[in-house]
Amino acid sequence: MMKSSEQSEGPLHFFSNPNTMHYNDHRCYDVYILSNRSKTLYVGMTNNLSRRVWEHKQGIGSEFCRRYKIDRLVYYESFDEAVRAINREKQIKGLLRIKKIQLIVSLNPTWSDLSAEWYTRHRFQPAECIGPSLRSG
């Protein structure tokens, strides 16, 4: 994985856990690629990747994602400046589809949903709300 210290125009970080994304008061801007089972691609940019991916998964992210059921985060890069993220988003959007696929496969060859464990229920959290007992005594 590369960091901005290795390449001045590259991403700040690649993350695998949303809890490590926005540490301290440092702002991060993420460029991401989402996909679906048939590998339709959607490129976006956000300042809160975990929230934005969750919105897409809930069908409130965009009309395009809702229509094509795009719900899998397959690639992302993080930047420390919004301008750099916007420029990278435009660059990725301008790539041919095959180049976008090469970008994804270079870091995620199995097209795994990189956010798959971000929204899982904690193992001690009940599956449903448990109300007060109705039994007396």
Over 60: is that where the pLDDT of 37 sits?
yes
pLDDT of residue 14: 43
Give me the mean pLDDT over the 106-127 stretch. Answer: 81
In a domain, 51, yes or no: yes
**Which residues form the domain of 44?**
18-107
pLDDT of residue 117: 85
In a domain, 129, yes or no: no
- Distance between CA atoms of residues 135 and 59, nearest Å: 40
Give me the mean pLDDT over the 97-113 stretch. Answer: 97
Give me the mean pLDDT over the 60-77 stretch. Answer: 93
* Band of residue 107 on the pLDDT scale cut at 50, 70, 90: very high
- Which CATH number do you get for residue 80? 3.40.1440.10
In a domain, 116, yes or no: no
In a domain, 127, yes or no: no
In a domain, 112, yes or no: no
In a domain, 80, yes or no: yes
- Global pTM? 0.71
Give me the mean pLDDT over the 89-111 stretch. Answer: 97
In a domain, 89, yes or no: yes
Count of the separate structural domains present in the chain: 1
In a domain, 55, yes or no: yes
Q: Which residue has the higher pLDDT, 43 or 129?
A: 43
Give me the mean pLDDT over the 100-104 stretch. Answer: 98
Over 50: is that where the pLDDT of 89 sits?
yes
Amino acid at 71: D
* Band of residue 27 on the pLDDT scale cut at 50, 70, 90: confident
pLDDT of residue 56: 92
Cβ atoms < 10 Å from Cβ of 70: 25
pLDDT of residue 18: 47
Over 80: is that where the pLDDT of 63 sits?
yes
